[in-house]
Amino acid sequence: NAGVMQNPRHLVRRRGQEARLRCSPMKGHSHVYWYRQLPEEGLKFMVYLQKENIIDESGMPKERFSAEFPKEGPSILRIQQVVRGDSAAYFCASSPWGASTDTQYFGPGTRLTVL
């Protein structure tokens, strides 16, 4: 059973470009979480999704950021018109049911650098 997959592992963008980060959850998991780790800071929750639904996006900036988890395919975190402050490691996690008894399994992360 493959773990959580994220790609790309490293992404370089110039200011104003778009960044698309992909996350494939573990097989059988229908709950996906995105977290961001800014340099020298802890991980911060961004958004929680189930298939075709955004459940909680309270940690995601209101502008330029969006997330989806379609019926087929990976979850996508999209950042439009990137700025230098978006440079961070973005981690995806998945769990089977979103229950308090679930362990969240994390992917290796995508490290975004904005030039």
Partner 1 sequence: KQEVTQIPAALSVPEGENLVLNCSFTDSAIYNLQWFRQDPGKGLTSLLLIQSSQREQTSGRLNASLDKSSGRSTLYIAASQPGDSATYLCAVGPMEYGNKLVFGAGTILRVKS
Q: Which stretch binds partner 1 (CB under 8 A): 21-29, 44-52, 63-71, 80-88?
A: 44-52
DSSP string, 14-50: -TT--EEEEEEPPTT--EEEEEEE-TTS-EEEEEEEE
Contact indicator for 109, 91 with CB cutoff of 8 Å: yes
Nearer to partner 1, 15 or 44 (CB): 44
In the bound complex, what is the minimum distance in angstroms from residue 4's beta carbon to partner 1?
8
Nearer to partner 1, 27 or 100 (CB): 100
Contact status: 103 vs partner 1 (CB under 8 A): yes
Contact indicator for 89, 35 with CB cutoff of 8 Å: no
Q: Which residues, 6+ apart, have CB-to-CB distance to 28 below 8 Å?
A: 96
Contact indicator for 56, 48 with CB cutoff of 8 Å: yes
Interaction mask 46-75, partner 1, x per CB under 8 A: --x------xx--x----------------
Q: Which stretch binds partner 1 (CB under 8 A): 12-20, 64-72, 79-87, 106-114?
A: 106-114
